[in-house]
Amino acid sequence: MTAPAGAPAKPDLGKMLKTTIDGGLAFLRKVDPDAAADMDAVRRRELGRPSIVVVGETKRGKSSLTNALVGVPNLSPVDAAVATSSYLEFSHAERAAVRAHVPGHEMPITLSVGDLRDWGTVLGNLPDGMRPPRRIEVTHPAPLLKYLTLVDTPGVGGLDSLHAEIALDAVERATALLFVVDASSPFSKPELDFLLEASKRINFVIFALTKVDAYPGWRTILDDNRAHLQAHAPRFGAAPFYPVSARLAELAMTLKGDAGKELVKESRVGELQHALVELAGKGHLLQQTNILRTLRSELVRLDIGIGDKLKSTDPDPADAQRAKDERTKIASRKRSESKQWSLALSTETSRARVDATGLLRTYVSKLQEEYLTKIEKGNAATVKALPGDIDKALQALSIRLSQDLEFRFRKIGERILAQVFTQQELGQVLRRLNARLRHAIATKPRREGGQDGLMLLTSTAGMAMMAGRGAMAGVGAMGVGSVVGGGLIIPGVGIALGLAAGAFMLYRKKVQGDKQQAKVWLREVLGEARAALSDEIMHRFTDLQYALTLALDDAIERRLKQLDDHIADIDKSMAEDKASRAKRRTTLTGEREALRARLKQLDEVLVRMRSITPAGPAEAKE
């Protein structure tokens, strides 16, 4: 069990964590600066309220359990797969409220609790033209939410393919996982695979075994699950399991007096609630331990790399031949398929540019129609306030367009890179590309421009060419995130469009309360806005296409160089005498011993951190 509050273990653990993380990062900076930069970004991330993310297969009872924990029946939609582009985030507030974060909207859309099924499930009905929300915030005065944020990911649908990616996106900022399995059957392979992937960044997992009221033999399934964990994920072999019945907890909410209390006790949900509150009370330690866990994953990757180098000191001619065959294959693909990749990239960007321009046309047309109606129906005050209103509307339009471009750019980049590289290779390619983009953003000057004195168009630092090739103005995304989990970052797409001083001066000079002149001014201003943004879109897609072309070429050349170096190492080893190979092997062995000593230190701390995990109910222990 955990030491009681106020015991000396807590500050000792915190100090030990900080020292170990500092030392591990210093070591990583020496051997892999790019990976260390990513880790620094993760560490600087703001530590907020502890977040418990609920994950598991479809139909395991995640949403029902979430509702039981919160104490509100049917709050999270049950028996419907939540749209793969969103997850539900429950936090505390004095009044219930719902806000949907929708791509293309600069502000969250306010909804009612009754709208959750329509907006949060694939069985719902969204307004015409509305994209599914990425995230839905639900606030509620439930007591549990005073201590933690609960994130429901009911759209994981099989924990594979895109569904698993959505769940992993929610896991990215999790403090701990609540992994839900039910008493009908043991762990499936996709569940174990997902758990192993998530555990690279999350150190603490609590398991909930649901539907125990429906399956009297749940203890057998629990034993089977523990055996699966010992065999495939031994780190979680001693993790606590909480047998629960969300159905009984929900039924108890409808009863009063002793009957309700008895059902609450039989549901066992209260034990899980107390465990989550206890865990959340150690939120800072949990978050720091997760950083240490991610750092360990990076060191394991480096250890594998040193292992490959050690193999070259004991050369295998067959290994050299395999590397040469792979090099020939890649070089041949570069010659034969480079035009195909270039054509695919050109086609993708052209299609997306046309779509984006069409969307812009729709945005501006709706804006013009809305304000022409306002002028026609408004009074003098409405006409007077028009320039300020249009300035704000154009800024809002800029944000919507920026978010849409960010989405399109990222998808284009990832689709094209995936055509060239295997999934395993793609992780390393994206890491190098993101590191270079991040460096370019830090050094890129701001780009500004104007249109005839009426429009002011400002772009943030844009997407860059590869390092050593200069930097380009233009494209980017909405900020730089972590790439520990993989994925293409397109930094800084922000466009700020508004009225220049000339537009206000022209309005005061020509309009002076005349509605017809106000309409003329409106059409002129919006026409120039559309022209300015259309031009910006064209430049940005051109920049994107050029940058990704360079990225492809750079990544392929790097892979060829890696293979050349590997072949050269083998050839060199074969040419070296036994003493020279032994000397190089000794150097590499020393490097590996230093790395493994650091790994051992991290592992010792991670093992000690297990002491802060709740012990679990006695009846569910081995």
Residue-level length of the chain: 622
Decide if 61 is inside a domain: yes
Q: Are residues 536 and 456 in contact, defined by beta-carbon separation less than 8 angstroms?
A: no
Mean pLDDT of 179-204: 83
Indicate whether 565 and 480 sit together in one domain.
yes
Q: Are residues 252 and 370 in the same domain?
A: no
In a domain, 293, yes or no: no
Q: Is residue 41 part of a domain?
A: no
Predicted confidence (pLDDT) per residue in 259-292, tens digit: 888 888 899 999 999 999 998 888 888 888 888 8
Find the farthest-apart pair of alpha carbons in the chain and give their distance in angstroms, rounded.
94
Quick: pLDDT tens for 433-489.
665 555 544 444 444 444 445 666 555 433 322 222 222 222 222 222 232 334 555
**The last residue of a domain, from among 569, 585, 603:** 569
User: Are 251 and 339 contained in the same domain?
Assistant: no
Q: What is the pLDDT of residue 318?
A: 75
Return the percentage of the chain with pLDDT > 70, whole number.
Answer: 71
Whether residue 88 lies inside any domain: the answer is yes
Do residue 119 and residue 210 come from a single domain? Answer: yes
Of the candidate ranges 180-189, 345-354, 565-574, the one whose mean pLDDT is the lowest: 565-574
Q: Is-contact 76 155, C-beta < 8 A?
A: no
**Does some domain include residue 292?**
no
Strands 205-210 and 241-243: parallel
- Of the candidates 472, 468, 456, which has an alpha carbon nearest to the alpha carbon of residue 542? 472
The answer to whether the Cα torsion of 498, 504, 506, 508 is positive or negative is positive
Question: Does one domain contain both 255 and 360?
Answer: no
Tell me: do 140 and 74 sit in the same domain: yes
For the entire predicted model, the pTM comes to 0.58
| Full residue range of the structural domain in which residue 237 is found | 51-280
What is the CATH number for 63?
3.40.50.300
Cα(125)–Cα(134) distance, rounded to whole angstroms? 16
The predicted structure's pLDDT at residue 224: 92
| Cα within 13 Å of Cα(322), Cβ side | 5
Share of the chain above pLDDT 90, in %: 15
Asked if residue 148 and residue 266 are part of one domain, the reply reads yes
pLDDT of residue 581: 73
pLDDT tens digits, one per residue of 330-368? 777 666 666 676 777 777 778 778 877 887 888 888 888
Q: Is residue 357 part of a domain?
A: yes
Q: What integer pLDDT is reported at residue 276 of this predicted model?
A: 93
pLDDT tier at 178, thresholds 50, 70, 90: very high
492 in the same domain as 361: yes
Q: Please count the structural domains in the chain.
A: 2
